[in-house]
Structure 1
Amino acid sequence: MKQQAFWLPVLAVMLAGCTPRIELAAPEAPITINMNVKIEHEIHIKVDKDVETLLKNRSDLF
């Protein structure tokens, strides 16, 4: 019985030393997101000959 009384606190101290510790810390510098985006587009329109001549003759339509 005396041996159990001795080993029980020793075992408890040893197990307490093995418990994992998790720590969360915020970063010191703020998080930056660089959003440099270059957007280019081209529109190709295919038209009939009649519409093409109409657009050439009547430039005031658009």
Structure 2
Amino acid sequence: MERSILLTISTAVALVLAVAACTPTVKVEAPPEPITINLNIKLDAEVRLKIEEQAKDDINNNPGLF
């Protein structure tokens, strides 16, 4: 009977060690280089519209300019 208890304890210890050895490891690391986000935004239409409106106002206010 004593041998049966020793065998059970040995089996339990071996099982715990086997499970502990197989636990996955997760590592979160920052990338070695910074992350760059390239945004190609074109703001030409808004700027052109404001310049055209200003040009029309200048021509209307100064008809002899050109």
Same fold, TM exceeding 0.5? yes
Aligned to 1:60: 61
Q: Which one of 36, 52, 55 corresponds to residue 40 of structure 2?
A: 36
Runs of 4+ in 1 over 2 A off after TM superposition: 39-43
Residues 1-25 of structure 1, C-alpha deviation per residue, up to 9 Å, x if partnerless? 1211211110111110121211101
> What is the aligned-residue RMSD (CA, Å)?
2.5
Aligned to 1:27: 31
Residues 3-58 of structure 1, C-alpha deviation per residue, up to 9 Å, x if partnerless? 11211110111110121211101000001111221134376xxxxxxxxxxxxxxx
**Matched positions, count:** 48
Please give the TM-score of this superposition, normalised by the length of structure 2.
0.55
Please give the TM-score of this superposition, normalised by the length of structure 1.
0.58
